[in-house]
Structure 1
Amino acid sequence: MDALERIGFDRLGLVVTPAGIATQAVAAPLLAEFAHVGVRFVNPEEITDGLAGGHRELIAHVRVKRGETGTYAPLFRGFPETLPEFDNALFRFVVARVRMLGREDTPESWHDALDFQRFSWWPASSIPQDAERADADRRAQALLPGDSRVEWITVRIVGREELEARLADWMRDCFGSAASLREDVQSDLGVLVGRLGVDGIAIGDVRFRENRTLLFELIWALDRTRLPFTGAGPDDLLRLFAKLTGGDLSLAEPVGYPRLSRADRRIVVNTLEVSDRLGDVFRRRGLWLAIDRGLHVGEFRAPLVQKTFARLRNSRHDRASFPSRFERLLADGKTAGAARIAAAEAPGVLGRSLRRLGSLAATGPKDRAALVGALTGAAERIPLRVLLAARAQVADNGRTYPRVVFGKDGSSLPIVREPGHLAVPAEFRAELLGAIDAAVDAAIEAKGDWHGETVHIEPGLDRLLLPDQLRATAQGLVQVERGSRLPLGEADVVRLFVHWREDGETSDLDLSCMVLDASFAFVDQVSWTNLGNGVLTHSGDLTSAPDGAEEFLDIDLTKAAKLGHKRGWRYLVPVIFRYAGPTFDALAEACTGWMLRTDATSATRVFDPATVANAFALTGGKRYAVPMLLDLETHEILYVDVYLQSEPRARVEKDGHDIATLVSAVAGRHHTKVSVAALALRHARVRGAELVDDPAKATITFGTASECTYDALQPEKLLADLL
């Protein structure tokens, strides 16, 4: 499986079969092997004998994607039926401490002190891994049957030519996306640009600045002589320099100057010489003056650049930065002035600040008129995604708190305010919403006519939020915006898992699950300190993983339905704590996820890749990860996907309140974000399409499958075409 085939499988669900004969004697075993890892084909009749042999590498890839890096085994051999009848962690450690008196403080001594099985008390838990026993348990697991349930990955057989054509389309969609891209997607785009080139990418269609910078970075690395022919402007070059030197792409901070040869400097100067936006250097005078010291524009035949930079050096006017002037005007109560300079210089900031400006402008009719006028005048220059986000914020009008803001690195910051914070008065709110709606409709209408088209929107897309920041989302089987909900599906048990392997320093990861009520108040928990509560069952705690260790936690959905309501339960929130040891990204292996099981007993393999609904690597340097929550009332998975910092020895009892606040903020995002269904409906209405209930009668379909025109689970095309 080469790089293109791997990307085609991961991103588009495509499998290449070499041309040749097809025999049932070869195809049937191949289909069975793929089915064992939960892969099925929509066109199995296209499989040829040439797939045999090479399929093993693809199956191994699928196993890793689904979280399997070896044979998993639980600490308790009878899990989940046979667990200690009594297990109080504090009492266990007190007794172990007494047994350690007079002993040497070594891992082996602690292992023995914490092992009470010889007294027929309870199995050893919260102990370092016993490598010999773990190896025996893994061999025993390999002999057990898998689960009867399968969570399918559906793929299609294609030829090599179709694969490359589909990947070229996907590459264009990614670069044209109106949102940031995950690091793994960026890496794949680098491979595709190197193999397929950039001739099919219209630079003008690459609007999002991070994606433009990525494209210019790739062109710079592969064939920088093309740069003057791309239409790159001064800001594009500054962002390229920032990317090459690890700087800030927002250009709010000074940009480092990369080491450039004379040939490289000629390319940069030529790019400026042919740019129709050369005058933009005056907008960032300080940054370009710093760059000018190393660029030596006088060495090259570039009369326009030389003349422009001479004026730049002689100019004494260097206005204060836009953010400073904007905030100063607001602090002085000059809302109209702030709105006007934002409309002129930073229309995106105007869009992102509409609720705040609307609240501050409420005191006077002149300020209100100025804000609506600024919005109307700048509407064409405000990205559609920003307008839609602004509309959702103004519509919610400060009712939903707490909220959460996600940083570029995936970090999260809960914002706790009283409901009504920065609220816009009702009469002005209606006027402001009208102006936003007019701007949104105009932007959508400009994308083309859909008269004569029929549109089908799959039920449930109102539960999926429109992605606007995919940069730091998990690299899992499913990619959705935080706060989105997907049906849990039919299953008896949700089995959570975490796997890790240390490389040197001892590590201790702890899988836990919090129970919250409808108000997100803490009700109960199951973790290494409490192995069960009648509905949730923990597999026991390991405090090291030299050979790879696992922890599991079962959620019995039948019992949860019967007992949860009586106990006041609403949400179950899995958390992976880094109790001690290296950060997630410093571990040799670290992943988490969940399976949907039917045969969740000790008679079946504790880990079955075919039952994995989602799995992803644990990354970063935070103290704990919250992948999702399970809503018992709606029978849905709500994607949380955040990492948080904490003091060492993180655990439920210490950090539960912060986690509850965070997940409540993520759950409330559906009040302040646009759904995929809302975007689809708006496009259909504004562009004149007819809605139909039957997807077979639709010319444009929105759904959660690769056959749809717009697949919400692979959102690159949607973000490129509709935003």
Structure 2
Amino acid sequence: MDALERIGFDRLGLVVTPGSVTTPGVSAPLLAEFAHVGVRFANPEAITDGLAGPHRELIAHVRAGRGGSGTYAPLFPGFPERLPWFDDAVFRFVVARARMAGNDWSERAWRDALDFSRIGWWPASSIPQDRDRAEADRRAQRLLPRDSRIEWITVRLVEAGELETRLRDWMRDCFTSAASLREDVQNDLGVLVNRLGLDGVEVGDVRFRENRTLLFELIWAFDRKRLPYTGATPDDLLRLFAKLAGGDVSLTAPVTFPRLSRADRRVVVNTLEASDRLGDVFRRRGLWLAIDRGLHVGEFRAPRVRETLAVLRESRHDYTSFPSRFERALAQDHTAAVRLAAAEAPGLLGRGLRRLAALATGPEQRAALVGALTDSRERIPLRVLLAAGAQLADNGRTYPRVVFGKDGSALPIVRERGHLAVPKEFREDLLGAVDAAVDARIAAKGDWHGESVWVEPGLDRLLLPDQLRATAAGLVQVERGSRLPVGEAEVVRLFVHWREADRTSDLDLSCIALDAGFRIADQVSWTNLGNGVMTHSGDLTSAPDGAEEFLDINLAKAARMARRKGWRYLVPVIFRYAGPAFEALAEAYTGWMSRNDATSRVRVFDPATVANAFPLTGRKRYAVPMLLDLDTHEILYVDVYLNGRPRARVEQDGNDIATLVSAVAGRRDTKVSVADLAMRHVRARGATLVDDRSRATITFGTGGGCTYDVLRPEKLLADLL
């Protein structure tokens, strides 16, 4: 499968069909094979016989993306209808040790000692993998029928030329988007730049600094002699150096100058010489003084650079630590600090607006803050203005909150309600200034008079995706805290699959029931295999050949339990009980299926029923992919990793998880939704809102064919932020 074809399928839902004839005897079986993994075509009439053969790699790719790289089997027969009647793990191991008296303690002897099937026991927790039995069970699974339900992936057949054109457009949208990009998306951009070049990507349109750094990193890798002609600034070069040396591109820490050849140093010096922002070196004096020692500018014809760096060495002004200068100013003179931020770091003014507002104690300070916000509104990124407005509107009502690190780690922030609250009249003045700034920035993007806009119902449940950097590389790409409907399935089947490399590993799939106040009401895990609503498939403690655990949630029974006992949320968790970190495992991924036929009479794993699946990464102790809201019948995307104590499990870490998911659920009160953004554009740009999609010229929705498909958000982030 060609790399461009793989990227086209993953990012745009496109499949290249080679030029050929169409024979019903060939096309019909092809369509059926794709349907078996949940893929259907929006234009099946365009299929050709040339897809036969290449389709096998694509189907294998789809299976892997839906978590189905192997054949799955449950640990015990009868799952999920029949649980083992006895499974006291402690008692079982005591008896097994007694059975081992006088034996050689080989792996086979220990496995036989743990086998109680002759007396009617089938244990289901703390079981080392029996390779022979696992292989036999997998062979038996292949003979079972599939589930009747399909979670469709709808794609479109195109010719190779159209694929290349669409990929160029997508690449431009990614670079010009006003938000961070997932690591797997960045990797795909590297492939595209190498294969297609950068024609059509205007460097000046790339505003978000992480995306600019990625762009310059790729130019450096594939065509570094082009760098002096890109308009790269001194700060762009500093961030490039930081990225090449594995440092922090935020420039809050010293930047290591990478080892460069003389030819490479010539490129850097020529880039500085050509920059119309050369004076920016004085803003980062300390960093540039350190780099100056390795540039050897005197070797090159660069009079502007030589003169500027000579002045820099003599200067005593150091602007490298703006945050510390700002904090010192804020402690002494609120108004001076506000003016400093507006002059040098308007983005910081927007990001810290609620804090600055809460600290403003008098009319003069409050007027200065409103004035600074108004004066610098054209230099504050639109996404920052939107976030500031949402934070002011909430005004400290929603806690706990959560902050996400660049590696996907999560830090809950627990405060009393009303923390940093802003007085009502002052808050209204600030919100008025923010709204005016947002409307002005949106209106400047172009006139929509004469356009009719349709917004799919439910987009108020999807948060504006501006922190996708460390979100899971799954089938669905949404912001944490967003909600999507569960659908009409009878059972949600959770799964985790892993295969160890060279050390015994033990991952544990669990699910916690919480009430409306996020208090623990019940749990199902390896210590409690069922509660009448949820059923666990058993606990494997090793996976040399790949192992799986499943957990079924019967939605009808869960709804009754919600009414009877006050359940509100079900929270799946994957614990790393023992062994290497997720990222050190040969394979590790999780997800969930929507099942109608969740019985032992059909396959336990069916890729066509997978609603979402993604790899498990990082070095944390447990992962929380989502929660199921029984009241609204929605999946709320959590997608976080947290550290815990060794041998992490529900009983010791459940309360921390409850705090975390409550913070993620509360994000809808402090962030802007996609529907909010769409409506702002409709109003500010003079469009007409319609409720009939067929009458619309611009559409917002969750599927292919929309102008803005919010599940593939790159175009939305590029055009509207």
Match of 1:51 in 2: 51
Q: Does 1:487 align with 2:475?
A: no
Q: Distance in 2 between matches of 1:97 and 1:331?
A: 67
Q: Is the Cα–Cα contact under 8 Å of residues 285 and 317 in structure 2 kept in the other structure?
A: no
Q: Distance between the aligned counterparts of 1:676 and 1:410, measured in 2?
A: 22
The separation in 1 between residues aligned to 2:274 and 2:631, in whole angstroms, is: 61
Q: In structure 2, what is the equivalent of residue 661 of structure 1? A: 659
Residue 720 of structure 2: aligned partner: 722
Q: 1:507–1:545: 8 Å Cα contact kept in structure 2? A: yes
Q: Which amino acid aligns with 1:483?
A: G
Q: CA deviation at 1:236?
A: 0.4
Which residue matches 1:562?
560
Equivalent residue number for residue 553 of structure 1: 551
Amino acid across the alignment from 1:398: G
Which residue identity is paired with 2:340?
A: I
Q: CA deviation at 1:389?
A: 0.4
For the 8 Å contact 1:234–1:281, the answer to whether it is kept is: yes
The residue identity in structure 1 corresponding to 2:66 is: R
Does 2:69 correspond to 1:69? yes
1:245 and 2:245 matched: yes
Q: Is the 8 A contact 2:285 2:318 kept in 1?
A: yes
Amino acid at match of 1:447: K
Q: Which residue of 1 aligns with 2:223?
A: 223
**Whole-Å separation in 2 of the counterparts to 1:659 and 1:108:** 38
Q: 1:33 to 1:310 in 2, by over 3 A?
A: same
Over the aligned positions, Cα root-mean-square deviation in angstroms equals 1.3
* Superposed CA offset, 1:9-44 (max 9, x none): 000000001111111011000000000000000101
Deviations for 1:321-374, whole angstroms, at most 9, x for unmatched residues? 111111122333x2212211111111111100000000000x211110111111
2:524 and 2:571 map into 1 onto residues whose CA distance is 10
1:565 alignment partner, SS class: helix
Identify the residue that residue 467 of structure 2 maps to in structure 1: 469
Q: Residues of 2 paired with 1:328 and 1:114: CA distance?
A: 66
State the secondary structure of the residue aligned to 1:594.
strand
Matched with 2:33 is 33
Question: 2:275 maps to what in 1?
Answer: 275
1:305 and 2:305 aligned: yes
Report the Cα distance in structure 1 between the residues aligned to 2:555 and 2:61, rounded to whole angstroms. 31
On the 8 A contact 1:126/1:541 being kept in 2, the answer is yes
For 1:420-461, what per-residue CA distance to the aligned partner results, in whole angstroms no more than 9, with x for missing partners?
001001111111111111111111111111000000000000
Counterpart check, 1:542 vs 2:543: no
State whether structure 2 residue 9 is matched by structure 1 residue 9.
yes
How far is the alpha carbon of 1:86 from its aligned partner? 3.8
Asked if 1 retains the 8 angstrom alpha-carbon contact of 2:84 and 2:124, the reply is: no
The residue that corresponds to 1:437 in the other structure is: 435
State the alpha-carbon separation in 2 of the partners of residues 90 and 575 from structure 1: 24
- Partners of 2:90 and 2:432 lie apart in 1 by 60
1:448 aligns with 2:446: yes
**Alpha carbons 1:478, 1:614 under 8 Å: kept:** yes
Amino acid at match of 1:316: R
The equivalent of 1:357 in structure 2 is 356
Worse overlay, 123-132 or 629-638: 123-132
- Superposition pairs of residues 562-711 of structure 1, within 5 angstroms: 562-711=560-709
Distance in 2, matches of 1:690 and 1:672, equals: 28
Aligned equivalents of 2:262, 2:614: Cα separation in 1: 45
Q: 1:376 to 1:655 in 2, by over 3 A?
A: same
Q: Name the SS of the counterpart of 1:570 in structure 2.
A: strand
Residue 92 of structure 1 and its aligned partner are, at CA, apart by: 4.4
Structure 2 CA distance for aligned equivalents of residues 152 and 8 of structure 1: 18
1:426 aligned residue: 424
Deviations 1:77-133 (A, max 9, x none): 211112123434455455556666776766555534443322223435311000000
| Contact 1:5/1:16, CA 8 A, preserved across alignment | yes
Residue pair 2:177, 2:208 contacting (<8 A) in 1 also: yes
**Aligned with 2:635: secondary structure?**
strand
CA distance change for structure 1 residues 329 and 90 in 2, over 3 Å: closer, same or farther?
Answer: farther
Shift of 1:575: 0.4
Give the deviation of 1:717 after TM superposition: 0.4
Q: What is the rounded CA distance, in whole Å, between the counterparts of 1:472 and 1:684 in structure 2?
A: 31
Distance 2:240 2:121 in 1: 64
Determine helix, strand or coil for the equivalent of 1:560. helix
- Equivalent residue, structure 1, for 2:334: 335
The runs of 5 or more residues in structure 1 that have no matched partner are none
CA separation of 1:295 and 1:40: change in aligned 2, threshold 3 A: same
- Matched with 1:264 is 264
Q: Match for 1:680: what amino acid?
A: A
Q: Is the 8 A contact 1:176 1:207 kept in 2?
A: yes
Q: Which residue identity is paired with 1:719?
A: L
1:390-405 correspondence runs (5 A): 390-405=388-403
Q: Which amino acid aligns with 2:144?
A: L
Contact map agreement 1:42 1:156 (CA 8 A) in 2 = yes
For the residues of structure 1 that align with 2:120 and 2:23, how far apart are their CA atoms? 58
Q: Could you state the TM-score of these two structures normalised by the residue count of structure 2?
A: 0.98
Kindly indicate whether residue 527 of structure 2 is the aligned counterpart of residue 529 of structure 1: yes
C-alpha distance in 2 between matches for 1:578 and 1:25:
49
**Residue 138 of structure 1 pairs with residue 138 of structure 2:** yes
The whole-number CA distance in structure 2 between the counterparts of 1:711 and 1:436 is: 27
SS of the aligned residue for 1:482 comes to: coil
Higher alpha-carbon deviation: 298-307 or 230-239: 298-307
Q: Which runs of 5+ in 2 are unaligned?
A: none
Write the distance in 2 (CA, Å) between the matches of 1:123 and 1:660: 30
Distance 2:344 2:401 in 1: 29
Question: Normalization by structure 1: what TM-score?
Answer: 0.98
The one-letter code of the counterpart of 1:346 is A
Q: Larger deviation: 105-114 or 629-638? A: 105-114
Partner AA of 2:311 in structure 1 = R
Change (3 A) 1:24 1:320: closer
Distance 1:18 1:185 in 2: 26
> For each residue in 1:639-670, what CA deviation from the matched residue of structure 2 results, as whole angstroms up to 9, or x when unmatched?
00001111211000010000000000000000
CA distance in 1, matches of 2:351, 2:92: 54
Task: Give the Å deviation of 1:189.
Answer: 0.3
| Deviation by residue 1:528-554 (Cα, 9 ceiling, x = unmatched) | 000000010000110000010000000
- Identity, % of aligned positions: 79
Q: Is the 8 A contact 2:625 2:638 kept in 1?
A: yes
Report if the CA contact (8 A) 2:287-2:320 is conserved. Answer: no
Deviation per CA, 1:175-217: give whole Å up to 9, x if none.
Answer: 0011111111001000111111112101111000010010001
Q: What letter corresponds to residue 136 of structure 1 in structure 2? A: A
One-letter amino acid matched to 1:587:
L
**Aligned to 1:448, what secondary structure does the other structure show?**
coil
Residue 563 of structure 1 deviates from its aligned partner by 2.5
Q: Is the 8 A contact 1:494 1:595 kept in 2?
A: yes
Q: Which amino acid aligns with 2:85?
A: E
**Secondary structure at 2:376 match in 1:** helix
Taking the aligned partners of 2:591 and 2:578, their CA distance within structure 1 comes to 21
Indicate conservation of the 8 Å contact 1:90/1:529, yes or no: no
Structure 1 contact 110–127 (Cα < 8 Å) conserved:
no
Task: Establish whether residue 172 from structure 1 lines up as the match of residue 172 from structure 2.
Answer: yes
Mapping of 1:77-116 within 5 angstroms? Answer: 77-93=77-93, 96=96, 107-108=107-108, 110-116=110-116
Structure 1 residue 304, shift from structure 2 partner: 1.0
Q: Secondary structure at the match of 2:496?
A: strand
Against the structure 1 CA distance between its residues 101 and 375, is the aligned structure 2 distance closer, same or farther, given a 3 Å change threshold?
farther
* Secondary structure, counterpart of 2:504 in structure 1: coil
| 1:355 partner amino acid | R
